[in-house]
Amino acid sequence: MQTRVKTASEIKAMRESGRMLATVLQVVKSQVAGGITTKQLADIAARELKVLGGTPTCLGYHGFPEVICISVNEEVVHGIPRADKFIKTGDIVSLDFGVTYRGMITDGALSVIANGTLNQKHADLVKYTEQSLLSGIAAVHDQVRTGDIGAAVEVVLKKQGYGIVRDLVGHGVGHEFHEDPNIPNYGRANTGPWLQAGMTIAIEPMATLGTHRVYLADDEWTILTQDQSWAAHFEHTVLITEDGAEILTGV
């Protein structure tokens, strides 16, 4: 389904959905520490979202069995929370969450290092991956092309020499979790489909300290780097405006 220009009431619902998403992610992030399991973190996400009145979009999405994706170190995205998966100090933990509210969906993600900054390379990977997301968002305006966004993300990650994951991309979002068009994290300005004010998109760079190549684990969900290098992932749902973008999944 092609992403549509959203109505005022759809945007209102997405603002509320995005606010819930950001609030829950901040709570879960604050609980990321050595010794906790990814299942415990997922249970916190479920509980917090329930209090706020939203529904977890991931649960049951193409059969995904949990409320949130939690991916650790060489896991890039779509990790399944598990009761036997313990976080260790220094791990890069990526939390990817979706919230449905009044029929409208927002999508957001962040990475955090368990127990803070222990390894400068890992801290930089997290920092610059977030920066690349903000660079992509800064490129957004009415009549932006997907290649304009991709190029703005890519320039930040390339400068650091990171692997830029190509097999997974950003996307339109709102009525569905994934709406067309794709929003790659690389590309050339002045290429790709045009987007317009009132559309809502998810921009989501995934960067690695090694290769851009990834593979699907035997669990048929988790995406891992081929060379076991560690990865980071940041994502916001944004509303395209005349002269910029409004981040819907910020606190």
If you search the block for the tokens 């998966």, which residue do you land on?
85
Q: Which of 10, 74, 75, 107 binds ligand MF3 (CB under 6 A)?
A: 107
Q: E strands along the chain, which residues?
A: 55-56, 69-72, 75-77, 92-101, 104-113, 163-164, 170-172, 179-183, 200-203, 206-208, 214-216, 223-225, 231-233, 236-240, 245-247
Q: How far is the CB of 179 from ligand MF3 (least distance, A)?
A: 11
Q: Does 69 bind ligand MF3 (CB under 6 A)?
A: yes
In the complex, the smallest distance separating the C-beta of residue 46 from ligand MF3, rounded to whole angstroms, is 13
Nearer to ligand MF3, 89 or 248 (CB): 248
Q: Cβ of 233: how many Cβ atoms within 10 Å?
A: 29
User: Exposed/middle/buried for 210, CB within 10 Å: 0-12, 13-18, 19+?
Assistant: middle
Cα→Cα distances 53→46, 177, 227, Å: 11, 18, 41
Q: Considering only 27-35, 57-65, 133-141, 209-217, which stretch makes contact with ligand MF3 by CB under 6 A?
A: 57-65
Closer of 1 and 83 to Co ion (Cβ):
1
86 near ligand MF3, rule: CB under 6 A: no
Q: Which is nearer to ligand MF3, 97 or 162 (CB)?
A: 97
Q: What residue ranges bind Co ion (CB under 5 A)?
A: 107, 202, 204
Q: Within 13 Å, how many C-alpha atoms sit on residue 206's CB side?
A: 33
Residue 28 near ligand MF3 by CB under 6 A: no
Q: Does 150 bind ligand MF3 (CB under 6 A)?
A: no
Q: Which of positions 174-213 make contact with ligand MF3 (CB under 6 A)?
A: 177
Query: For ligand MF3, which residue of 81, 98, 174, 198 counts as binding (CB under 6 A)?
Result: 98
Least distance CB 220 / ligand MF3 (angstroms): 11
Coil, strand or helix: which one is 171? strand
User: Which residue bears the tokens 């990790």?
Assistant: 79
SS3 172: strand
Our finding on whether 61 is near ligand MF3 (CB under 6 A) is yes
